[in-house]
Amino acid sequence: MSVPIIAAHGVSAGYGNSQVLRDVDFAVHAGETIGLMGRNGMGKTTLLRTLLGLLPVQAGSVLLDGSDAARLPAFRRARSGIAVVPENRGIFASLSVMENLRLATRPGPWGEPRVLALFPRLQERHRHRGNQLSGGEQQMLAIGRALMTNPKLLILDEATEGLAPLIREEIWNCLSMLKGRGQSVLVIDKNVANLSRIADRHYIIERGRTVWAGTSEQLIAEPDLQHRYLGI
């Protein structure tokens, strides 16, 4: 298999003297869609922050394209091709839809026409400011803005949390389309059914440890595992 875009090997990390992650292994390869799951407070966001360079590694290593990223600051990791749609969306409320998109522009196939074709609702509201959009429209804008950086890896933290059912389905359809185009995606979400529909592999985090890793077919075939670690 090819060298992963991003990987963690035996990673331990936390906040000050509080250790959250313990010996975590994790990887995303080119063209993969990966689901990261676990109950609230189990270490998913801490793992994400560690991968992005926002938290130091206490033990183990984080690799970007096979190279040790220990000394690589967060902005350099972003420039290497990692784009994040954060849980709070992080759009600029006072800027228009188009201004939000243009701020993130980097060379590559993803540009304004392609993003607006993916999210026609943004085209309809292209003059509206960020704070005039609904929650679902803000999420579409956050995804579109991330795509405007033409990333090697797109990361979505709590991709559909708090969205209306119809909007959630639209987001899942978007992610399925991105997968079909070969975009590498890491999705943190709680919806096993939808994640299993689009993801190649999954990791489950429990109390800061990787307690399970496998394919969608394996996850669907183990309802007891879902109940034990995901509360389903």
74-125: per-residue pLDDT in tens? 999 999 999 999 988 889 999 999 999 999 999 999 999 999 999 999 999 9
**Mean pLDDT of the region 26-51:** 95
Mean residue pLDDT across the chain: 94
Residue 232 has pLDDT above 80, yes or no: no
Higher per-residue confidence, 2 vs 109: 109
Q: How confident is the model at residue 71 (pLDDT cuts 50, 70, 90)?
A: confident
SS3 state at 29? coil
pLDDT of residue 6: 97
pLDDT tens-digit readout, 3-18: 999 999 999 999 988 9
> How far is 60 from 84, CA to CA, in rounded Å?
23
Tokens of 114: 């392609």
Amino acid at 187: V
φ, ψ for residue 88, nearest 5 deg:
-90, 10
Could you tell me which residues come within 8 angstroms of residue 80 by beta carbon, excluding any fewer than 6 positions away? Answer: 64, 65, 72, 152
> How far is 54 from 48, CA to CA, in rounded Å?
9
Tokens of 166: 């119809």
Q: Which domains, from first to last, does the chain contain?
A: 1-79+155-160+188-232 (3.40.50.300)
> How far is 224 from 232, CA to CA, in rounded Å?
9
Burial of 127 (0-12, 13-18, 19+ CB in 10 A): exposed
Higher per-residue confidence, 128 vs 161: 128
Tokens of 162: 């708090």
The DSSP letter of residue 132 is: G
SS3 state at 157? strand
pTM of the model: 0.93
**Mean pLDDT of the region 171-185:** 95
> How far is 198 from 42, CA to CA, in rounded Å?
23
CB 13 within 8 A of CB 20: yes
Residue 2 has pLDDT above 90, yes or no: no
∠ at Cα 175 (68, 28), nearest 5°? 20
